[in-house]
């Protein structure tokens, strides 16, 4: 029987009286690779923030690793990459090494080195994070999320600032972690076509769940064609026709 790492029931979140998320329910099992997609302002990041306890929903329940969110303490099991860093100012004096080290013991220097090398920023270890380009900062944050080898990785728009080469390395590494180590992945993006290539399950949300299923089902769904229009639906799915044929 699959183990639920995340169980969300009937979640509703409002901000300033405006409903941002409405009656969201879904589960994520151990070893899943879930892509959460939707247009800008659809509530994807808000959903993740509710899931992680950063925001509090008005209604519904969230369980992490079988425990209600307010009882959950094993945060080291989760690696999270936020969409953008709120507090990061160019004057922040933390080195890349110090940032990546956050949340793990200082004796694990080899792990830090490996994570930095994996993201191709080993040479930037002693540089201040505020002195780096946005893409380099994003790589450092990815290394931080990966370094503790958590059971569940949550990425919110992880590849926006990455060049195509680093983006491919990132997706390949995430796929490896998912396939070989059984790490559960939740990846938020607005690029349905791209994530469809990697995720085994897609959740399309626009304040509520519009679609839940595989990418193949997504492309074949008459409801989604109605939602996007035939041309847009074709463009999203066409990018990965070879993949679809393989399926």
Q: Which residues bind other proteins (CB under 8 A)?
A: 49, 52-54, 73-76, 78, 80, 82, 85-89, 91-95, 98-99, 102-103, 128, 131
For residues 87 and 222, which CB has a smaller minimum distance to other proteins in the complex?
Answer: 87
Query: Which of 159, 145, 219, 223 has its CA nearest to residue 191?
Result: 159
CB of residue 230 vs other proteins: minimum separation in angstroms? 40
Give the nearer residue to other proteins in terms of CB position, either 88 or 161: 88
**Residue 127 CB, nearest distance to other proteins (Å)?**
10
Q: Judged by CB, which is closer to other proteins: 81, or 224? A: 81
Comparison of 73 and 180: residue with beta carbon closer to other proteins: 73
Q: Which is nearer to other proteins, 106 or 246 (CB)?
A: 106
CA 5, 168, 125, 128 torsion-angle sign: negative
Specify the residue, 73 or 246, whose C-beta has the smaller distance to other proteins.
Answer: 73
Closest to other proteins by CB, 148 or 196: 148
CA distance 76 to 103: 7
Cβ-based neighbour number of residue 167 at 10 Å: 16
Rounded least distance, CB 98 to other proteins, Å: 6
Cα 102–Cα 190–Cα 188 angle in degrees, nearest 5: 35
Q: Nearest approach, Cβ of 86 to other proteins (angstroms)? A: 6
β-strand 4-15 against 78-81: which pairing, if any? unpaired
CA end-to-end span of the chain: 25
Residue 72, SS3 per DSSP: coil
Within the chain, residue ranges assigned H as helices are 44-51, 96-101, 109-118, 134-147, 164-181, 192-198, 215-220, 222-228, 230-238, 241-246
Q: Are strands 78-81 and 152-156 parallel, antiparallel or unpaired?
A: parallel
Q: Give backbone dihedrals phi and psi of 86, rounded to 5 degrees, phi first.
A: -70, -50
């Amino acid at each position: 029987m699959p183990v639920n790492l995340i169980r969300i029931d009937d979640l509703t979140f409002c901000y300033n009286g405006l409903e941002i998320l409405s009656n969201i329910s879904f589960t994520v099992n151990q070893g899943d690779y879930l892509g959460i997609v939707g247009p800008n302002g659809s509530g994807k990041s808000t959903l993740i923030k509710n899931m992680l306890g950063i925001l509090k929903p008005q209604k519904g329940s969230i369980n992490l690793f079988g425990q209600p969110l307010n009882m959950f303490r094993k945060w080291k099991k989760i690696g999270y990459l936020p969409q953008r860093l709120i507090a990061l100012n160019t004057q922040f004096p933390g080195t890349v090494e110090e940032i990546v080290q956050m949340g793990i013991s200082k004796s694990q220097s080899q792990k830090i080195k490996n994570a930095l090398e994996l993201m191709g920023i080993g040479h930037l270890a002693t540089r201040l994070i505020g002195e780096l380009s946005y893409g380099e900062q994003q790589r450092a944050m990815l290394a931080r999320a990966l370094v503790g080898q958590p059971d569940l990785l949550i990425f919110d728009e992880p590849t926006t600032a990455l060049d195509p080469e680093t983006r491919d390395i990132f997706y390949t590494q995430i796929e490896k972690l998912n396939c070989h180590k059984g790490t559960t992945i939740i990846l938020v993006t607005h690029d349905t076509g791209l994530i469809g290539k990697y995720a085994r399950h897609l959740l399309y949300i626009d304040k509520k769940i519009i679609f839940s299923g595989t990418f193949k089902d997504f492309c074949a769904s008459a409801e989604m064609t109605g939602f996007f229009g035939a041309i847009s639906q074709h463009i999203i799915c066409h990018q990965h026709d070879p993949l679809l044929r393989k399926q």
